[in-house]
A and B are shown apart, each in its own frame.
Chain A
């Protein structure tokens, strides 16, 4: 695929980052799931149904964001699919399907709408750092605007109806991508993750269930979207996120307080930087190196803008994806590593 030009997508707003707590919090994401009333869900829908869903959703999205980018599926350029996944505009699941679907992306890169993933419509807003209030507010506003254009399936007792019961009710998932390298290096991690679970949250690897090689990047999000506990889902997710942030900071402080702590982190960061620049890394090695380097930046042991590491994490994630799926493996590894190296050298 080398030599083919991959169309540009809007730069995700979470790459730039403006939120708080970026030493630990990479990004905040709020997602709302909805299904078009009267249409079968994607898992059983015929292609004609999915095309009609796509048309209805495209009209609704265009009514509130006429200048966004819309990317169709199938027959999209593979490099473009990888870019959508790296930017987290689209999920691995969406990108792997070849059935009719689309992703709509706001020009400012702050939100996207996946059409025909597990549900007909998944609207998501992402910001860098800890930005829960802004992400939830924006996502709800977008979903409410869309609901004025297209009727979504709803039940008085069950709330918004989704293909999986785990999303029914509010359809909302508020999550944070956290970097917990110090906590992950010691026994306190298990206790911290269990505490987050007791607070009503799900803790997973950076790239979803069953993925390995997270490099101590984890996602924490609310578990409940239905019933009494769903009413406080935002508070629970924020509480668990804040708790893990503070525990990570304590663990970093403890690390730095050791006799050789600062120099050990500086040495490890230099080694990680050298490997990124010079070694032919696979995705798992890359994410570990990014993790070490990011820790070094966060504690001031090495130079570099920590905000830029968000994009690198996305790149490592998509490298892992192409390694698993065999999609343009060499090409994607080459261009992802080249982009990161270029920034590290500058």
Chain B
């Protein structure tokens, strides 16, 4: 880090606490965004698979991604729980 690059931090506040702000700032910004999955309702069998694309629920949990539109029906309980989880509580 050169003098020119720390200048912006120095400008605002020359205390040592202020110099720690960028790290706290970065920690905030790098928190993962909620994806909706995985939250696993007890009713969903991880070995269950989608009849259309063949993706298993354990694969969905691992990737966080559904395989096709029919996965929404095949894994309905988990999908509805995941949607509520991802899109509420602002």
**Interface bracket on B:** 35 or more
- Secondary structure class of chain B's binding surface, majority of residues: helix
Assuming the A-B contacts A205-B30, A264-B7, are A229 and B90 also in contact, with contact meaning beta carbons closer than 8 angstroms in the complex? Answer: yes
Name A268's contact: one of B7, B22, B69 (CB within 8 Å). B7
For residue A155, CB closer than 8 A to chain B, the reply is yes
Chain B residue contacts of A331, Cβ below 8 A: none
Name A289's contact: one of B5, B9, B35 (CB within 8 Å). B5
Chain B 13-25 interface 0/1 with A at a Cβ cutoff of 8 Å (1 = within): 1000110011011
A35 to B53, CA, bound (A): 14
A184 to B83, CA, bound (A): 33
Interface residues of A in 45-69 (CB under 8 A from B): none
A44 touching B55 by the CB < 8 A rule? yes
A168 to B72, CA, bound (A): 10
Chain B residue contacts of A35, Cβ below 8 A: 69
A204 touching B7 by the CB < 8 A rule? no
What is the CB-to-nearest-CB distance from B13 to chain A, in angstroms, rounded to a whole number?
Answer: 6
What is the CB-to-nearest-CB distance from A153 to chain B, in angstroms, rounded to a whole number?
Answer: 4
Interface residues of B in 21-64 (CB under 8 A from A): 21-22, 24-26, 28-30, 32-37, 52-55, 63-64
A202 to B13, CA, bound (A): 27
A226 to B35, CA, bound (A): 12
Chain A 182-214 interface 0/1 with B at a Cβ cutoff of 8 Å (1 = within): 101111011001000111111111000111101
A227 to B90, CA, bound (A): 12
How many pairs of residues, A versus B, come closer than 8 Å at their CB atoms? 168
Chain A residue contacts of B9, Cβ below 8 A: 185
A43 to B50, CA, bound (A): 14
Chain A residue contacts of B26, Cβ below 8 A: 205, 212, 214
For residue A271, CB closer than 8 A to chain B, the reply is yes
For residue A107, CB closer than 8 A to chain B, the reply is no
A39 to B29, CA, bound (A): 35
Name A155's contact: one of B54, B63, B72 (CB within 8 Å). B72
A39 to B5, CA, bound (A): 50
B65 touching A185 by the CB < 8 A rule? no
Name B68's contact: one of A39, A169, A226 (CB within 8 Å). A39
Chain A residue contacts of B4, Cβ below 8 A: 268, 271-272, 274-275, 289, 292
Assuming the A-B contacts A187-B21, A295-B8, are A193 and B72 also in contact, with contact meaning beta carbons closer than 8 angstroms in the complex? Answer: no
What is the CB-to-nearest-CB distance from A169 to chain B, in angstroms, rounded to a whole number?
Answer: 7
A251 to B25, CA, bound (A): 16
A186 touching B18 by the CB < 8 A rule? yes
Chain B residue contacts of A118, Cβ below 8 A: 65
What are 10 residue pairs bridging A and B, where the CB atoms are less than 8 Å apart in the complex? A168-B36, A187-B21, A193-B29, A201-B90, A205-B26, A223-B87, A268-B4, A275-B2, A285-B2, A289-B4
Closest 4 CB pairs between A and B?
A185-B12, A165-B36, A200-B90, A271-B4
Which positions in A face B, CB cutoff 8 Å? 35, 37-41, 43-44, 118, 153, 155, 158, 161, 163-166, 168-169, 181-182, 184-187, 189-190, 193, 197-205, 209-212, 214, 216, 218, 223-227, 229-230, 236, 251, 255, 261, 264-265, 267-268, 271-272, 274-275, 285, 288-289, 291-292, 295
Which positions in B face A, CB cutoff 8 Å? 2-5, 7-13, 17-18, 21-22, 24-26, 28-30, 32-37, 52-55, 63-69, 72, 79, 82-84, 86-88, 90
Q: Other CB < 8 Å A-B pairs besides A184-B25, A271-B4, 19 of them?
A: A41-B66, A41-B68, A118-B65, A164-B36, A165-B86, A166-B34, A168-B83, A186-B13, A189-B25, A190-B25, A209-B33, A212-B26, A214-B26, A224-B87, A227-B84, A230-B87, A267-B7, A285-B2, A291-B8
